[in-house]
């Protein structure tokens, strides 16, 4: 319940006035509909009785009721339109802000590394769970409030006829109406939660199967992956069937309220007419008013079925809404140093052994440093520590602000300029061209018909592997970070492209410190220092003039 309150506070904080206005318009729409039906019934009945004699026919005023019916019909239409605009605009605005908040919390270093292992989970939190929360206001709070307002209007209207009848008509639908909705919500809570999980499993497995189709085919696991998707779809169909059965029963129960109340009220009104307490037109007015007041209760059905899904989504999202995004705080190094590490220990979540243990290191500002060592030695972990993606569990660590170019090229479905401005949103066009020139991509982009506004596909499709790597390098050089980190920047590139990228990187350093994790001698050739890491510890720290530097470099790949 606390999770729902957290989400509700978010709604009220951002769109309190709009939500109140939306509820008011929804209530007025329902009340106008009730008044329209009851007034029409009275008018038809009264007109029929007035026509029995010429005297009553001439005295009967048909214009005032006709005007009232026209007004209520127009008002109901306008109120319905206004209610839909206001409630949906308020809800969608809150959900948009909620997605931004969630994305900011997911984008922090701690969360980003965890979500990188399960990227589909981030997608589902931002789509399925946030979408589910629109039902909190639109399908739970508003229908419940409108149903209560309709019952209250019926009580006040019928009180002028008979107080006991008014109380009976008002109280009878409230107790069974909300009772049926509550029972349906309890019955649907587990199936709704299981349906959300099954839907997430179906989408996640389909995404995994499509993305890894080649690997699955090579490993002869494509059929097993397809079977997993079908199993998730079967569970989804089963939960849908259970929810449909609950919806049918709830709909039957809520629909039965109107004839039950109508039959009882008809008997009560007949007795009042027989004792000359009221006339037949008033009886018709009261009967139709009571029946119309039952209609808003049928809208409780959908909210009851979605209550479990809404609650599950709120439980997953609420903790993120309460926390403020916090990056890992890193102290600045002493003057003249780009990085200082003293007896650092780093352990990945769930790991029994540390990835870095007792590591101490100093890197002078302005140097190009090659970081070497066997695979799994801790090179990428050290880069992640410097860039602030992970935190040391022990030791003292200080570094200049750093920007990281990972092994995998991260480009998005956007323009070339949009991808570049991720590094510096306010960068001018001249700065973009300068970065492209430094990376050796300027001439290629100038040859494109749309230049910087050329649209790239997902992952930078439309560019070759070398061009994607050059674009990522241009984006790295565009940052203002004094420390640049590169994780195997020329891996999987042809020798000519790799040599050109390394040469341009050295030429574009502009006094900045560059740390390159590599297995290749190419990057070592432009380095002032070489660091050797093995088994999470620093095994060597050699300057370019030392013989050990040459010895280590000779053992690296040469291509």
Domains of the chain by range and CATH? 2-322 (1.20.1560.10), 337-554 (3.40.50.300)
Give the model's pLDDT for residue 120.
64
Confidence of residue 74 (pLDDT cuts 50, 70, 90): very high
Enter the tokens of residue 298: 């049928």
Confidence of residue 29 (pLDDT cuts 50, 70, 90): very high
Report yes or no: 246 and 187 within 8 Å, Cβ to Cβ: yes
Which residues, 6+ apart, have CB-to-CB distance to 321 below 8 Å?
A: 6, 7, 10, 98, 101, 102
Instruction: Look up residue 452 and give its DSSP letter.
Output: G
Out of 79-83, 298-302, 421-425, give the one with best mean pLDDT: 79-83
> Can you tell me the distance from the alpha carbon of 43 to that of 282, in angstroms, rounded to the nearest whole number?
10
For residue 200, pLDDT beyond 90: no
Per-residue model confidence as pLDDT tens digits over 375-416: 888 888 888 888 887 888 888 889 998 888 887 778 888 898
Q: What is the 3-state secondary structure (H, E, C) of 26-61?
A: HHHHHHHHHHHHHHHHHHHHHHHHHCCCHHHHHHCC
Per-residue model confidence as pLDDT tens digits over 448-485: 888 888 888 877 778 888 888 888 888 988 888 899 99
For residue 119, pLDDT beyond 80: no
Confidence of residue 548 (pLDDT cuts 50, 70, 90): confident
CA end-to-end span of the chain, whole Å? 62
> Can you tell me the distance from the alpha carbon of 249 to that of 94, in angstroms, rounded to the nearest whole number?
33
Which residues, 6+ apart, have CB-to-CB distance to 292 below 8 Å?
A: 33, 34, 37, 38
172: number of CA atoms within 13 Å, CB side? Answer: 21
For residue 112, pLDDT beyond 70: no
């Amino acid at each position: 319940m606390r999770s729902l309150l957290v989400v509700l506070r978010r709604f009220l904080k951002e769109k309190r006035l709009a939500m109140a206005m939306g509820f008011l318009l929804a209530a007025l729409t329902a009340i106008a509909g009730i008044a329209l039906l009851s007034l029409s019934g009275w008018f038809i009945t009264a007109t029929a009785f007035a026509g029995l004699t010429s005297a009553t026919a001439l005295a009967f005023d048909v214009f005032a009721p006709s005007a009232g019916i026209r007004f209520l019909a127009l008002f109901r239409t306008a109120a319905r339109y206004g209610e839909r605009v206001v409630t949906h605009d308020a809800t969608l605005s809150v959900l948009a802000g909620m997605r931004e908040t969630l994305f900011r919390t997911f984008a922090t270093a701690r969360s980003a590394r965890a979500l990188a292992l399960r990227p589909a989970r981030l997608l589902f939190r931002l789509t399925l769970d946030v979408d589910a929360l629109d039902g909190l206001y639109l399908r739970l709070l508003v229908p419940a409030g409108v149903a209560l307002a309709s019952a209250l209007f019926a009580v006040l209207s019928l009180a002028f006829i008979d107080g006991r009848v008014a109380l009976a008509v008002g109280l009878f639908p409230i107790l069974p109406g909300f009772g049926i909705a509550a029972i349906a919500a309890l019955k649907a809570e587990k199936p709704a939660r299981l349906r959300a999980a099954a839907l997430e499993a179906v989408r996640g497995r389909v995404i995994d199967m499509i993305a890894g189709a080649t690997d699955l085919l090579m490993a002869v696991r494509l059929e097993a992956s397809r079977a997993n998707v079908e199993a998730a779809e079967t569970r989804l169909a089963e939960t849908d069937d259970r929810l449909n059965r609950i919806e049918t029963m709830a709909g039957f129960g809520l629909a039965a309220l109107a004839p039950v109340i109508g039959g009882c009220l008809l008997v009560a009104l007949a007795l009042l007419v027989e004792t000359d307490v009221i006339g037949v037109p008033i009886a018709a007015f009261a009967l139709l008013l009571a029946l119309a007041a039952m209609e808003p209760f049928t809208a409780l059905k959908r909210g009851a079925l979605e209550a479990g899904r809404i609650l599950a989504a709120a439980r997953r999202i609420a903790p993120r809404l309460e926390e403020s995004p916090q990056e890992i705080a890193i102290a600045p190094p002493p003057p003249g140093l780009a990085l200082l590490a003293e007896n650092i220990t780093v352990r990945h979540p769930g790991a029994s052994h540390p990835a870095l243990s007792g590591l101490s290191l100093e890197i002078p500002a302005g140097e190009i440093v090659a970081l070497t060592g066997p695979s799994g030695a801790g090179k990428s972990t050290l880069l992640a520590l410097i860039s602030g993606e992970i935190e040391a569990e022990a030791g003292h660590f200080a570094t200049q602000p750093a920007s990281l170019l990972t092994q995998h090229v991260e480009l998005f479905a956007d323009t070339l300029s949009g991808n570049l401005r991720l590094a510096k949103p306010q960068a001018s066009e001249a700065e973009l061209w300068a970065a492209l020139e430094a990376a050796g991509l300027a001439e290629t982009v100038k040859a494109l018909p749309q230049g910087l506004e050329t649209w790239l596909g997902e992952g930078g499709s439309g560019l070759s592997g070398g061009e994607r790597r050059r674009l990522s390098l241009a984006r790295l050089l565009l940052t203002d970070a004094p420390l640049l980190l590169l994780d195997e920047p020329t891996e999987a590139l042809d020798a000519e492209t790799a040599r050109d990228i390394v040469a341009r990187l050295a030429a574009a350093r502009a006094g900045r410190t560059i740390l390159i994790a590599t297995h290749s001698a190419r990057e070592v050739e432009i380095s002032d220092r070489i660091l050797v890491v093995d088994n999470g510890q620093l095994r060597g720290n050699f300057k370019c003039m030392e013989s050990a530097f040459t010895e280590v470099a000779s053992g690296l790949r040469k291509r």
